[in-house]
Amino acid sequence: MSDQQTQLDRRPVLGCIADDVTGATDLATNLTQGGMRVVQVMGVPAKEDVAGLEDVDAVVVALKSRSIDKADAIDQSLAALRWLAGLGASRFYFKYCSTFDSTDQGNIGPVAEALMDELGVKQTIFCPAFPGAGRTVYQGHLFVGDKLLSESGLQDHPLNPMTDSNLLRVLGRQSKRSVGLLSHESIGESSQACLEKMSELADEGVSFVVTDCCHDDHLATLAEAVAAMPLITGGSGLARYLPSAYRSAGVLAVGESKTCLPTAKGRKLILAGSCSPATQGQVKWMRGRCEIWSVDVEALMENPAAEFDRVIAWATATKPDDTLLVTSTSSPQQVVTLQQQYGSGQVANAIEKLLACVAKTLVSDLGFRQLVLAGGETSGAIVRELGIQKLRIGPEICAGVPWTETVGVEPGLALALKSGNFGGENFFAVALEMLA
C-alpha cells in the first residue's frame, strides 16, 4: 500500500486524465450523474497531496495538454497516470473532446499509446460519442448534429481544424498502431458481441478500436463491454454509463451521489475565448442583455498592457449589479487573418493571458464570484491564474456542463467551465439564472 493510500479511507475505482479543464468537468459531471463520488483536481498534484480525496469513487485530473507539444502532453499524462495509480485506482480513463480535437501529429493517438505502454495494455477503445450533446459516430465517421465533423464548423478551429470525419484515418495518421472499427451492428447486438469482435480485432493485431455509437443505448452496451478494461479513452458520454457497469461488475458499491448548487455570492462575469460557432451564437444572444467588451485582438497583439487597462477601466465603470461579458470570439475569416499576421500560437496565448489576468483582477478587486468560462484553453488559463486546485462538481446546466465550486481557496467561487462547442444560444443566461 502506498504512502498516499494510507491517508485515504477508500481507493478510487477510476482515475481519469482529461486533456483540458472543461473536458474534465464534463467527464466529472457524467460520472456524478451515474452515482459516483467525484473530485476534480487541476494539474498533477504533489505526491503527498491527497487532501479532499477521502471517500471518493473517481478522481479527474484536468491537464492542458490538448494543443501543446506532443512530448509534453505525453509527459504530463504519464505523470497524472502515475499519481492516480498511487491513489489505488485500478481503471483509467483518458478523456478528450467529443469532436476529437487534434492534428495529424496528435495528441490523442500518441498519448493513448504512452498510457497503454505504461499499463501494459494491448488494446483500447476510442469512443468520443456523446449523443446527448449531438455527437455520434457511424461507420467510424464522427457527426456533430446532422453534419459530418468536417462540415460542422470545426474544420475552421483555430488550433485543431478537423477536416476529416473518418476517425480511423485520423488515428491512423497519428499512430503506427493498427486501427479497427467496432461497428454499430455488434454494439446493437450485445456487450458479449462487442467483446467477441474486439477479441477478433486483437487477433488481427488491432490495438486502437474506434467505436460506432448512434444513441445512448449504444453507450450503455459499450460501458458493460469495457467495464473490465484497465484503460479506455473517449469523450464524456460513455462515463454516464460506467458507474452502473462497475456496480454490475462488483467493483463499485451501490450508492447515489448528490449534487448541490454553489453557494458563492457576488458579481457575475462571463469570459468567452472560444471561436466555435456555438460560442459565437451565445455571445450574440447576450447582446443587449448584459454589458459586453469585445477584445480588440489586433490592439492586444500590439500592446497587451494597454488592452488590459482598457478592459479593467470599462469593468470598473459598470454598475455593481451589471453582468459583464468579455469576449475575444471572432469569425473564421478574422481568425485566419490574425493568425497569418501574428502566428496562431501567439494569438491564442495572448488572448488566454489577457482573459486570465482580467479574471484575476475582477475577482480580487471588484467582487466577482460567479464566473462562466467558455472555451477549454480559456478555462484552463483562467483556473491556473486564479490558483484553483480542486473543484466540487455541482448540478448540470446542459449536457456536459455542470456548475462547480472551488475547494480550499478564498474567496470561494462558482465556476461554469464550458467547452466552446456546448450549450444552446441562451446558455450564459440559463447558467446564471440557476444561481439566482
- The answer to whether residues 236 and 280 belong to one domain is no
- The answer to whether residues 90 and 227 belong to one domain is yes
Q: Which of 198-207, 305-314, 375-384 has the lowest mean pLDDT?
A: 375-384
Domain boundary residue, one of 248, 275, 293:
248
Residue 85 counted as domain residue? yes
Of the pLDDT bands very low, low, confident and very high (cuts 50, 70, 90), residue 4 is: very low
CATH number at residue 125: 3.40.50.10840
Residue with cell 490523442: 108
pLDDT at 270: 98
- The answer to whether residues 196 and 315 belong to one domain is no
Question: In this model, does residue 366 exceed pLDDT 60?
Answer: yes
Question: In this model, does residue 5 exceed pLDDT 70?
Answer: no
The residue that leads in pLDDT, 125 or 132, is 125
- The answer to whether residues 153 and 230 belong to one domain is yes
Residue 420 counted as domain residue? yes
- The answer to whether residues 277 and 227 belong to one domain is no
pLDDT at 51: 66
- The answer to whether residues 209 and 280 belong to one domain is no
Give the strand pairing for 401-407 and 390-398. antiparallel
Question: In this model, does residue 53 exceed pLDDT 80?
Answer: no
pLDDT at 292: 98
* Cell numbers that stand for 332 in this block: 473564421
- The answer to whether residues 207 and 289 belong to one domain is no
Of the pLDDT bands very low, low, confident and very high (cuts 50, 70, 90), residue 52 is: low
Task: Please tell me the distance from the alpha carbon of residue 379 to that of residue 364, in angstroms, as a whole number.
Answer: 18
Residue 408 counted as domain residue? yes
Measure the CA angle with vertex 73, ends 71 and 76; round to 5°: 110
pLDDT at 335: 81
Question: In this model, does residue 1 exceed pLDDT 50?
Answer: no
- The answer to whether residues 274 and 198 belong to one domain is no
Residue 372 in contact with residue 354, Cβ under 8 Å? no
Task: Please tell me the distance from the alpha carbon of residue 95 to that of residue 292, in angstroms, as a whole number.
Answer: 33
Question: In this model, does residue 397 exceed pLDDT 50?
Answer: yes
pLDDT at 8: 43
Q: pLDDT tens for residues 316-328?
A: 999 999 999 999 9
Is there a cis peptide before residue 30, judged by omega within 30 degrees of 0? no
Within its chain, how far is the Cα of 14 from the centroid? 17
pLDDT at 63: 94
Is there a cis peptide before residue 411, judged by omega within 30 degrees of 0? yes
Domain boundary residue, one of 248, 278, 300:
248
Average pLDDT over residues 293-320: 96
Average pLDDT over residues 388-409: 89
Residue 161 counted as domain residue? yes
Q: Which of 84-88, 139-143, 306-310 has the lowest mean pLDDT?
A: 84-88
Closest CA to 84 of 47, 113, 55: 47
The CA distances from residue 242 to 30, 88, 219, 281, 359, in Å, are: 9, 18, 9, 33, 35
Closest CA to 417 of 319, 230, 271: 271
Question: In this model, does residue 143 exceed pLDDT 80?
Answer: yes
Q: pLDDT tens for residues 196-211?
A: 999 999 999 999 999 9
Q: pLDDT tens for residues 24-40?
A: 999 999 999 998 988 89
Average pLDDT over residues 152-156: 90
Express as a percent the part of the chain with pLDDT over 70.
Answer: 96
Residue 106 counted as domain residue? yes
Question: In this model, does residue 11 exceed pLDDT 70?
Answer: yes
Using left for φ > 0, alpha for ψ between -120 and 50, and beta otherwise, residue 234 falls in left
- The answer to whether residues 167 and 288 belong to one domain is no
The CA distances from residue 263 to 89, 175, 369, 388, in Å, are: 31, 45, 10, 17
Residue 168 counted as domain residue? yes
Structural domain harbouring 359: 267-388+398-435
DSSP code string of 150-217: GGTTGGG-SSS-----BHHHHHHHH-SSEEEEE-HHHHHH-HHHHHHHHHHHHHTTEEEEEE-B-SHH
- The answer to whether residues 310 and 367 belong to one domain is yes
Q: What is the mean pLDDT of the chain?
A: 92
The β-bridge partners of 269 are 324, 371
Average pLDDT over residues 187-201: 97
Task: Please tell me the distance from the alpha carbon of residue 268 to that of residue 323, in angstroms, as a whole number.
Answer: 5
The CA distances from residue 63 to 213, 235, 331, in Å, are: 26, 15, 27
Residue 21 counted as domain residue? yes
As for how many domains the chain has, the answer is 2
Q: pLDDT tens for residues 267-285?
A: 999 999 998 889 999 999 9
* Cell numbers that stand for 366 in this block: 471588484
The CA distances from residue 163 to 138, 142, 160, 366, in Å, are: 17, 11, 9, 43
Question: In this model, does residue 342 exceed pLDDT 80?
Answer: yes
- The answer to whether residues 280 and 372 belong to one domain is yes
* Cell numbers that stand for 53 in this block: 480525496
- The answer to whether residues 296 and 405 belong to one domain is yes
CATH number at residue 316: 3.40.980.20
Of the pLDDT bands very low, low, confident and very high (cuts 50, 70, 90), residue 159 is: confident
Residue 149 counted as domain residue? yes
Using left for φ > 0, alpha for ψ between -120 and 50, and beta otherwise, residue 295 falls in beta
